[in-house]
């Protein structure tokens, strides 16, 4: 069974940093692109960042470009999101999602999603 | 940036057909996925590549995409289908979600 488990969320002050992790199991992790998607409280889904299976391709939403860095360790089956210069508007539940191809931007959608980890940016 | 527009809410009676639209410039030239999100739960993929259903998704869920509009159709809607639904596509390797539609079954 494919499983994704996010961790690393918490309360951080504006301007601070946080690193999220997504532990994957049940599939050959290095073969598939992965993405981070967030959802602010009471709001809709927002794609944040994606990475190809071999980590050569990384992609970012304009809202986080230059502040967030996506990476992966295929030897540990783990996806990461390093978040710097955090702002109040970054407060959200962050989900990781598996794409069904290796290159990123897969037409088959995100399946499955993890349970999410909450990031709260507040003083 | 590329935008996808969904109606904020749709209502349907049990057993009837619900249609949720998603519009964007030349959306028919792109692939669209649809997600269901029940309260307090993670999103679930219900349609991918415009018309395909993942295994385990009931046959009453179907999709279409042409011109500037993609549509998610739920036939014989059940109370358990009440949820938020989001369309999603890609624009030059950047993911884009619609604003979401709350489906009410009453």
b vs e for B25-42, b when ≥16 Cβ sit within 10 Å of the residue's Cβ? eebeebbbbbbbbeeeeb
Query: What confidence score (pLDDT) does residue B93 get?
Result: 87
Distance from CA of B88 to the nearest CA of A (A): 8
d(Cα A52, Cα B42) in Å, to the nearest integer? 23
CA–CA separation, B22 vs A10, rounded Å?
A: 34
CA distance A30 to chain B (A): 19
Instruction: Dump pLDDT digits (tens) for B42-61.
Output: 999 999 999 999 999 999 99
User: What band does B19 get if pLDDT is binned at 50, 70 and 90?
Assistant: very high
Angstrom distance (rounded) from CA B20 to CA B46 = 13
Whether the pLDDT of residue A102 is over 90: the answer is no
CA separation for the pair B20, B73 (Å, rounded):
6
Structure confidence at residue A107 (pLDDT): 85
Q: Report CB contact under 8 Å: A37, B94.
A: no
Interface contact flag, A61 B95, Cβ < 8 Å? yes
Q: What are the residues of chain A with a beta carbon less than 8 Å away from any beta carbon of chain B?
A: 35, 37, 44-47, 50, 57, 59-62, 95, 100, 104-105, 107-116
Cβ of residue B49 closer than 8 Å to a chain A Cβ: yes
Phi, psi of B80 (to 5 degrees): -70, -10
Judged by DSSP in three states, B67 sits in coil
CA distance B86 to chain A (A): 8
pLDDT band at A34 (very low <50, low <70, confident <90, very high): very high
Residue with tokens 């710097």: A84
Interchain pair A44, B49: CB under 8 A: no
Q: How many CA atoms lie within 13 A of A92 on its CB side?
A: 20
The shortest CB-CB distance from B31 to any of A46, A107, A116 is to A107
pLDDT over 70, % of chain B:
100
Mean pLDDT computed over every residue of chain A: 96
């Amino acid at each position: 069974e494919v499983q994704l488990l996010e961790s690393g969320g918490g309360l951080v002050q504006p301007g601070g940093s946080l690193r999220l992790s997504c532990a994957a199991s049940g599939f050959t992790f290095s073969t598939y692109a992965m993405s981070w998607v967030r959802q602010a409280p009471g709001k809709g889904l927002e794609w944040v960042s994606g990475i190809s299976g071999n980590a050569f391709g990384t992609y970012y939403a304009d809202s986080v470009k230059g502040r967030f860095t996506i990476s992966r360790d295929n030897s540990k089956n783990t996806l990461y999101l390093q978040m710097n210069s955090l702002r109040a508007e970054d407060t959200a539940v962050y989900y990781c999602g598996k794409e069904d191809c290796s290159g990123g931007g897969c037409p088959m959608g995100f399946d499955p999603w993890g349970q999410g980890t909450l990031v709260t940016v507040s003083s | 940036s590329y935008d996808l527009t969904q109606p904020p809410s749709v209502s349907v009676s049990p057993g009837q057909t619900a249609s949720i639209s998603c519009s964007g410039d030349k959306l028919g030239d792109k692939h669209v996925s649809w997600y269901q999100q029940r309260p307090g739960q993670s999103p679930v993929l219900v349609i991918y590549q415009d018309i395909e259903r993942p295994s385990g998704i009931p046959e009453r869920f179907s999709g279409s995409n042409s011109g500037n509009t993609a549509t998610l159709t739920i036939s014989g809607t059940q109370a358990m289908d009440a949820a938020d639904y989001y369309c999603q596509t890609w624009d030059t390797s950047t993911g884009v979600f619609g604003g979401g539609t709350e489906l009410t079954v009453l």
